[in-house]
Amino acid sequence: MELTDSGSAVTARHDGVELCRYVYRPPEPAIESPRPYFHPVRTLAGHEVSIYRPPDHVWHKGIAWSLPNVGPQNFWGGPTFVRGKGYVQLDNNGAMANRSLTVSGDRVDQELDWLTSDGSRWFTERRRILLSIVDDAWSLTFTTAMTNVSDAEIRLGSPTTEGRPNAGYGGLMWRGPRSFTGGEVITPEGTGGDDLMGIRVPWLAFLGRHRRRRMSTLVFVDAPTNPGHPVEWFVRSTPFACVCPAPFFSATVPVAPEETLTLTYAVVVADGAPDPANLAAQARMS
């Protein structure tokens, strides 16, 4: 795996294929809650398995650490779900600003500031990204350590904690390409689709189809060290493909001043339809 830093994005390549690009100085407008993201994401054979700014939700960007309910602030993008009112576009879209980034071998270390819509700094974040080849696939391990640097408790939640059922999104969100719509969701407990929304399992896979009947598999793994493991999952097969291990799905998590919340997830990207349990077992979690 070869990593190169352009000054605004880190690109990972293997055997001549660009596997992913981590854009850490995002160019998007404030209303989309600018934050780092991975796009494009590709398999070892070069098949693209992510989408950027789809027309239905332009704030969806490949794979990105995105939180819609950070106290009253929105670090997800777009409108905020307000109890009793539904989705409302408020002046509350925050941004994650890069402070520093270093690349060493297969590892990216980053420090960020979480800035509210008025420019206040609520969190500092230390982020570590590990990229590695695992047999006939590759894995991305994402660790975040968020420290509350404000002078008040901040509660992390979701639209579900604000009253919208089955909308507990918020976390390491992946949005798949249009051709993946209607794909198969696979868990240790069985297969399905949208009916698996909110399931608690240690890993969850998505099997999608490209044009010309090619298939790719992504496996998302919740680290056993994460608070609340196994996590609740936000997952859709229709009307679009998306997966998000959602640690704030059904209950808010308070973070006190100077407290640090640490979470780790892995994503394994493979061509075809290999056994997802084997891929999950190969995920590098540290």
Residue 286 confidence (pLDDT):
76
Residue 213 confidence (pLDDT):
83
Mean pLDDT of the 217-238 span: 98
pLDDT band of residue 162 (cuts 50, 70, 90) is very high
Q: How far apart are CA 238 and CA 236, in angstroms?
A: 6
Question: Which burial class, exposed, middle or buried, applies to 97 when counting CB atoms under 10 A from its CB (0-12, 13-18, 19+)?
Answer: middle
Mean pLDDT of the 210-233 span: 95
Give the domain extent around 68: 2-282
Question: Which burial class, exposed, middle or buried, applies to 22 when counting CB atoms under 10 A from its CB (0-12, 13-18, 19+)?
Answer: buried
Output the CA–CA distances (angstroms, integers) from residue 173 to 93, 106, 118, 212, in the order listed: 17, 22, 25, 27
Number of C-beta neighbours around residue 225 at 10 A: 12
Output the CA–CA distances (angstroms, integers) from residue 27 to 1, 6, 23, in the order listed: 26, 14, 9
Given a contact cutoff of 8 angstroms between Cβ atoms, the answer to whether 35 and 75 are in contact is yes
pLDDT band of residue 98 (cuts 50, 70, 90) is very high
pLDDT band of residue 212 (cuts 50, 70, 90) is confident
Mean pLDDT of the 63-71 span: 98
Question: Can you give the pTM of this predicted structure?
Answer: 0.97
Residue 284 confidence (pLDDT):
86
Q: How far apart are CA 134 and CA 205, in angstroms?
A: 16
pLDDT > 90 fraction of the chain, expressed in percent and rounded: 98
Whether residue 29 is predicted with pLDDT greater than 80 in this model: the reply is yes
For the segment 70-91, what is each residue's pLDDT rounded down to a tens digit?
A: 999 999 999 999 999 999 999 9
Given a contact cutoff of 8 angstroms between Cβ atoms, the answer to whether 96 and 78 are in contact is no
Structure tokens at 125: 């974040």
Tell me the average pLDDT of the chain: 97
For the segment 237-255, what is each residue's pLDDT rounded down to a tens digit?
A: 999 999 999 999 999 999 9
Mean pLDDT of the 94-107 span: 97
Residue 275 confidence (pLDDT):
97
Residue 211 confidence (pLDDT):
85
CATH classification of the domain holding 257: 2.70.98
For the segment 106-151, what is each residue's pLDDT rounded down to a tens digit?
A: 999 999 999 999 999 999 999 999 999 998 999 999 999 999 999 9
Domain count within the chain: 1
Whether residue 27 is predicted with pLDDT greater than 90 in this model: the reply is yes
